[in-house]
Amino acid sequence: MMTAARKIIEVVPSLLAADLGRLDSELERVRAAGVTWVSVDVMDGHFVPNLSFGPDFVRLVKSKGLTVDSHLMVANPETVAPWFVDAGADYVTVHDEACRDARAALRDIRRRGGKAGLAVKPKTPADSLVALVGEYDLALVMTVEPGFGGAQYLSYVEPKIAAVRRAIDAAGADCWLQVDGGINEKTAAAAAGAGADSLVAGSAVFRAKDPEAAVTAIRQAALGVRR
Ligand code: DX5
């Protein structure tokens, strides 16, 4: 059964770039722009050369009434994913490169009551994302090498975004196609034009003078190129 391609664009601020000492006011500023979904980048110092948040931070963010996706940049996602489902994360996204068996990892997240996401780094082919359509609720195509905010968007990834978009649409799968890394007003148009409907943005939002306006500009830029 074909489902209509998503007609909306979700701008998903990444809290990696937020001023955590003023978390409530940072969240209020993006909520004012209609944000209901934020991304928590989880880094273990092994899969990526950085350390960030644990399940307790997801619990805290969930207590603010937001949809939370936890992007697990960890070397042992099968072990860690249940911790984030239990912490209340709405989406738990594991990296194809780190999974022993991505299908099993996705099924385990769903079995535990979470929505499952599968991510690939810029240089990783889309093979798993294409082969596993239907097994995930969110596909994440990274447009930066993971580990830090503020990196430059890698436009060579766009054909991969388009290939995953075609596979999702051909299957009539009801899932998000998320892009994360270097998203701003300009690159959002390119990523949405390639087929993304969920755009993670950290520094372009929280480093902006007016985060509310930044979110709106990213959304409008992406909607302006909807096919
Ligand atoms: C990379 C992180 C970043 C973050 C967004 O590991 O996943 O992509 O979410 O950072 P910006 O929007 O600043 O590139």
Going by alpha carbons, the residue nearest to atom 1 of ligand 1 is 146
- pLDDT surpassing 70 at residue 50: yes
Annotate 34-61 with DSSP letters as a single string.
T--EEEEEEEBSSSSS-B---HHHHHHH
- pLDDT surpassing 50 at residue 3: no
* Mean per-residue pLDDT over the chain, rounded: 95
* Whether residue 180 lies in the annotated active site: yes
Domain ranges for the chain: 12-223
Cα 148 to averaged position of ligand 1 atoms, centre (Å):
6
- What pLDDT was estimated at residue 8? 87
pLDDT per residue as tens digits for the range 95-133? 999 999 999 999 999 999 999 999 999 999 999 999 999
For the domain bounded by 12-223, which CATH number is listed? 3.20.20.70
Phi/psi at 127 (5° precision): -50, -50
